[in-house]
Every structure is written in structure tokens, then in C-alpha cells.
């Protein structure tokens, strides 16, 4: 099961709000596309690549638009940890577990 952490939900809201300043339509589309992209993780949890900054086989990422969707595989569950812009430097402390 795919579970969104509170920090990841906050990241998604921030992305929506940022885009909505220019277009409510695209804000909704981008956030919906991000949510839908994570749906595949239920059946294919290792579809994403390993996050290079962390070098942990269980923390992986999907890429969509200019965002990295960082998630962790724990037993049968997949936890979406955070969403970061591709230009942002990612540090271990940026990931809310």
C-alpha cells in the first residue's frame, strides 16, 4: 500500500499553491499526475531508481516534470517521504520519515 507522509502531503500542497499563482488548471493537473505516478508503486515498488545522495536500496525515487518523488519501501508498504524540485540539493535531513 502507498502511504503519503505528512511532509510529502505538505510538499504536494506547496507545489499546488506555487503553480496555482499562474494557473489553477495546471496546479491541479500536476498534483494529480504526481499522485497517479505513485499508484504504480503498489505493484512495482522498485520501479524507481535508488536515490544517489542516500545510497540506500530501500529509498528510491520517481521523476515527473521537474520533481523527484522520494519514497521508501518498508515490508509491503511504500511510504512517499518527500517531493523535491530537481534543482534542489537533497540532503538526508530533507527527508521526513
Q: What is the pLDDT of residues 52-63, one digit of tens each?
A: 888 899 999 999
User: In this predicted structure, what is the pLDDT of residue 45?
Assistant: 95
Cell of 31: 498534483
The H or E element containing residue 28 is helix 24-39
Please list the ranges in the chain whose pLDDT falls under 70: 91-94, 96-97
d(CA 52, CA 59): 9
Q: Specify whether the CB–CB gap between 66 and 85 falls below 8 A.
A: yes
Enumerate domains of the chain plus CATH numbers: 2-88 (3.30.2310.20)
d(CA 50, CA 90): 13
Positive/negative CA dihedral, 54, 57, 40, 78: negative
pTM (two decimals): 0.91
User: In this predicted structure, what is the pLDDT of residue 93?
Assistant: 66
Amino acid at each position: 500500500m502507498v502511504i503519503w507522509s505528512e511532509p510529502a502531503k505538505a510538499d504536494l500542497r506547496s507545489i499546488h499553491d506555487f503553480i496555482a499563482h499562474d494557473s489553477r488548471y495546471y496546479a491541479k493537473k500536476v498534483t494529480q499526475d504526481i499522485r497517479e505516478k505513485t499508484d504504480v508503486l503498489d505493484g512495482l515498488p522498485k520501479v524507481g531508481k535508488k536515490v544517489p545522495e542516500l545510497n540506500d536500496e530501500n529509498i528510491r525515487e520517481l521523476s515527473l516534470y521537474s520533481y523527484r518523488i522520494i519514497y521508501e519501501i518498508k515490508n509491503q508498504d511504500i511510504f512517499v517521504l518527500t517531493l523535491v524540485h530537481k534543482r534542489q540539493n537533497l540532503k538526508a535531513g530533507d527527508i521526513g520519515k
